[in-house]
Structure 1
Amino acid sequence: MTTRQEVLAAARVRLDGRDPAGVGLREIARALDMSSTSIYRYFDSMHDLRTALGMQQPKPEVPAGFTDQFVERAMSPDRIHSVIADLLGTSLVIGPLAVGPGKRGRAVARGVVGDIATTRAARGLAAKIPVGLVIDIEVGRFQKRICAKVVVPIGISARVKDDLTLVIDVARPHPRAISVDVDALGLSAVVVRKVGKVDDLVRANTLAHIDAVLASPEGKAATTIDIGQMIDDAWAAGVVFERRAM
């Protein structure tokens, strides 16, 4: 497995005698035969990598208001919806979880991620992630299946780093902000729901699943957009940028 020091060593070779702005994480990953997402285990951006190498780069002058306009354009609800939907996929499995008195019971939840609603908010975007769960609970010889509808609200904002990197930040909601609608019909289901603390388990573990997805290398890669690398790739592919008349 590639180490952080090997990444730094490869970066030194690639940066030697070259304009730092022309070197991206993908190029360094290719030099190490790494996937473009694996390198994010070590560095979030080229800025972080250059900082680790002790390199500094002069900041260009940016027109007033450019950053805000850039972020607003990049952070469209449709784009963010696509990013979140691709990361979460359409299904999830949670468990097995220890439930009931003495944690002697067992619960497994299988779910389907619904259509994510993404809208503009006062600060960035707001998204609601609906998840339909089927929860199978076993406590001794007792078995019960419970269905639940969960909605996880998240806040989304973006910031631009000095090295033309757009970082999408996801605000983790408080577990109590997650709505849980449990279909527990019958006395036995009501008892299982209360004794097993099903609502709290659903909230905590659905949120933990989303956290794990966002913290994965794929999640970091999807929420860290190297604009400089995209420009370099476009030029390398022969794309011609034409100045449009205003």
Structure 2
Amino acid sequence: MPDHQYMTYEDFGRKFFEVAVTEERVGEAIGQIAGDAFEMGPMGQGPGGLAKVTAHVKVQTPRVKRHVGEMITFSIRIPLEIDMVVDLRIDKPRFVVFGEISLRASALAAEPLLLILDVKKPRASDISIHVTSKTLRAEVVRIIGNIDSEIKRFIAAHVAGEIDSPESQQAKVIPVGDMIDESWNGLSADR
């Protein structure tokens, strides 16, 4: 038998997590949860909800930074590009919004042999946006209607809903034991 450098079960488990839970894999899972695009609105804004805001949100590729300590955690940034229209009935100013969602996640182990990516739901304060418009009227509408805050609130609520969806719940749990069984059975069948 060739020479192997043996390790404890505890060291093996830790090494397994460090090899299995990479920035690329987490980025892929978060990308599946976030999707490519979603629609906002129409949402009533301003005095009496007179203005109707609609937006098309394009979700860009997540950027993930892994932090290896006692726990393996991740800082995730998801860039957004938003095309927004505010329907004032007499005018429909357009806005271009660039933003980013900041998420935090942890890699956890669970019984019987599961790897879980625990993604924390964002708050409105975890959303940053930069809004541009082409007219002074649009800027006034944006400020009076408190549109920036509403965009952040809506995006945070949408992402929280996606994190809680059955598809996302399934994507965040990796049944390692089942995968080992499948692999082991595959080896047996090859012999």
Same fold (TM over 0.5): yes
Tell me, what secondary structure is at the counterpart of 1:64?
A: helix
Whichever residue aligns with residue 144 of structure 2, its letter is V
Question: What's 1:68 paired with?
Answer: 14
Deviation, structure 1 residue 126:
1.1
Question: What's 2:43 paired with?
Answer: 97
Deviations 1:55-101 (A, max 9, x none): xxxxxxx8334443332222100001111112222211112212111
Alignment of 1:128-207 (within 5 A): 128-207=77-156
Q: 1:86 to 1:174 in 2, by over 3 A?
A: closer
Question: What's 2:53 paired with?
Answer: 107
Q: 1:216 to 1:177 in 2, by over 3 A?
A: closer
Deviation, structure 1 residue 203:
0.9
CA distance in 1, matches of 2:161, 2:122: 14
Deviations 1:10-42 (A, max 9, x none): xxxxxxxxxxxxxxxxxxxxxxxxxxxxxxxxx
Tell me, what secondary structure is at the counterpart of 2:122?
A: coil
Normalising by the residue count of structure 2, what TM-score does the alignment of the two structures yield? 0.85
Tell me, what secondary structure is at the counterpart of 1:141?
A: coil
Q: Work out the number of aligned pairs and report it.
A: 179
CA distance in 2, matches of 1:77, 1:222: 16
CA distance in 2, matches of 1:80, 1:64: 23
Tell me, what secondary structure is at the counterpart of 1:163?
A: coil
Coordinate RMSD, CA, aligned:
2.0
CA distance in 1, matches of 2:54, 2:162: 19
Contact 1:113 1:130 (8 Å CA) reproduced: yes
CA distance in 2, matches of 1:239, 1:142: 67
Question: What's 1:228 paired with?
Answer: 177
CA distance in 2, matches of 1:79, 1:93: 27
Contact 2:54 2:84 (8 Å CA) reproduced: yes
Whichever residue aligns with residue 107 of structure 2, its letter is A
Contact 2:98 2:130 (8 Å CA) reproduced: yes
Tell me, what secondary structure is at the counterpart of 2:148?
A: helix
| Unaligned stretches of 5+ residues in structure 1 | 1-61, 241-246
